[in-house]
Amino acid sequence: MNDRATPEAPVVEGPDGHRLHHPLASHLSATAAPPATRRDLSRLLPLTEFAPIGPAEAWWCRHRLIHTSSLGLFALASSPTTARFDEQPISCLYLGFDGLQRIDHDGASWFSRPGSCTYLPNAAHRLHTNHAAGLVLRLDPERLITTTQAMAGWRQCPPQLRTAVQRPSQWLAGDPPSAGLLGALHGLLALTDQLLHADPALLTALQIDDQIYRLLGALLVPEAVAPDSLERLQHRLRRGRESFEATLNWVRTHLNEPISMTDLERLSSYSRRGLHYAFQERFGCSPMRWVRQERLSCALARLQRPEPNDSVTSVAQSCGYRRAASFSQDFQRRFGVRPSELLRESKRPRNSDAPEGAPARDLEPPSLN
């Protein structure tokens, strides 16, 4: 089997002349010695051993730790290395991009090759690499269960879901049943590369972590995304009418918080397809577009009747936006004015003839259609 990634992938070149392909190559930093890499990797996983294979003076490494409140990722390209990880109630996901990595886990050996994806249900394992490039994700197994359950629209966790999350699995590049999902997972890394160049905060704003959990859930339990028959879909819509209304009310009272498709699926007990159908039928748009419109309507009300200390940033954050620039773009696109202009207008002294409490400027939200 070819142990090289596609030639289009960005390249890391080591001092010994080895060239390794890695989608995050431009973000990897050179490491002077093994202790520096060990320090960063141990911040993500329960690392107990990390050492070069061969002469230490010939060892080299490029790595990057991405560790936010929602995403834990360690990207690596290096000469031969060995590492050992202790057991903790977490899961790991290895993706191979170049070279070969052998993962010893629970008495079995798994080989991470270019394009492969290896899931380990707990952190206890040993890693051996030749000149290789890859990354490892730290995962919460309970979140993986709840995300997959919500995505499938299951009211309870079926036994096959918990079993799948508790056993190791591997998917290889080109395997027909999983090729599309693997391609989507690797595509997320290309998007991650672009977001890191633009603004690392976008990783959280765009909920990249939720997309990773959903793709992995679909790989582990394919029936979670199997098409529903029309009869099952209609039954779920009838049964879920009350929960759908409750979901809408919950969103309107939690607009200051991050809201994902997984949250909507879990609250409504709808499948992904059923939820899209219900929102399209009711509002003529997708679920996440409706959430965005609700955030903007909430912001409009705040900007038309501001508190003395209100700013565009504080209003944006109170309506669930983490970046004021994204909020300003969305607001102007929808209402045709900048939020800063509307806030200034609303804070200006009102005409004495205007009714007390009336907004300085009324804007009518355009139709979602």
CA–CA distance, 212 with 215 (Å, rounded to integer): 5
| Tokens (6 digits) for 318 | 């109170």
Confidence of residue 65 (pLDDT cuts 50, 70, 90): very high
Q: Could you tell me the residue range of the domain that residue 77 belongs to?
A: 11-181
pLDDT tens per residue across span 93-131: 999 999 999 999 988 999 999 999 999 998 789 999 999
Mean residue pLDDT of the chain comes to 85
Give the residue, 277 or 165, on which the prediction is more confident.
165
Residue 323 in domain: no
- Which tokens is 106 given? 């629970």
Mean pLDDT across 147-176: 87
Q: What are the pLDDT digits (tens) for 250-284?
A: 999 999 999 998 889 888 877 788 888 889 888 99
Structural domain contains residue 152: yes
Q: Is the model's pLDDT at 5 over the cut of 70?
A: no
Give the model's pLDDT for residue 21. Answer: 93
Residue 241 has pLDDT above 70, yes or no: no
pLDDT score recorded for residue 17:
92
pLDDT for 282: 87
- Whole-number pLDDT of residue 25: 92
pLDDT, greater one: 20 or 201 = 20
Tell me if 316 is assigned to some domain.
no
Window from 29-33, 69-73, 93-97, 358-362 with minimum mean pLDDT:
358-362
Tokens 């080299």: give the residue.
60
Per-residue model confidence (pLDDT) at position 189: 83
Beta strands at 101-105 and 169-171: parallel, antiparallel or unpaired: unpaired
Mean pLDDT of 25-52: 92
Q: What is the CATH number of the domain that holds 138?
A: 2.60.120.10
Measured CA to CA, the distance from residue 60 to residue 325 in angstroms comes to 40
What does the alpha-carbon distance between residue 109 and residue 309 come to, in Å, rounded to a whole number? 60
Query: Which of 246-267 are b and which e, b meaning 16 or more Cβ less than 10 Å from the residue's Cβ?
Result: ebbeebeeebeeebbbbbbbbb
| pTM, entire model | 0.68
pLDDT per position as a tens digit, 286-295: 999 999 999 9
Is 70 exceeded by the pLDDT of residue 179? yes
Give the mean pLDDT of 355-366: 51
Closest CA to 190 of 27, 43, 315, 20: 27
Determine, yes or no, domain membership for 46: yes
Neighbours of 118 (CB within 10 A): 24
Task: Report the percent of the chain where pLDDT is more than 90.
Answer: 54
Q: Which residue has the higher pLDDT, 353 or 100?
A: 100
Q: Is position 144 within any domain? A: yes
Amino acid at 108: A
Whether residue 244 is contained in a domain is answered as: no
Tens digits of residue pLDDT in 260-269: 988 898 888 7
pLDDT in tens, 305-319: 999 899 999 999 999
Q: Which of 324, 312, 313, 247 is nearest to 279 (CA)?
A: 247
Q: Is residue 33 part of a domain?
A: yes
Q: What was the pLDDT predicted at 129? A: 95
Whether residue 204 has pLDDT greater than 90: no
What local confidence, expressed as pLDDT, does residue 228 receive? 53
Q: How far is CA 229 from the centre of its chain?
A: 29
Domain-located, residue 365: no
Looking at the 3D structure of the chain, how many domains does it have?
1
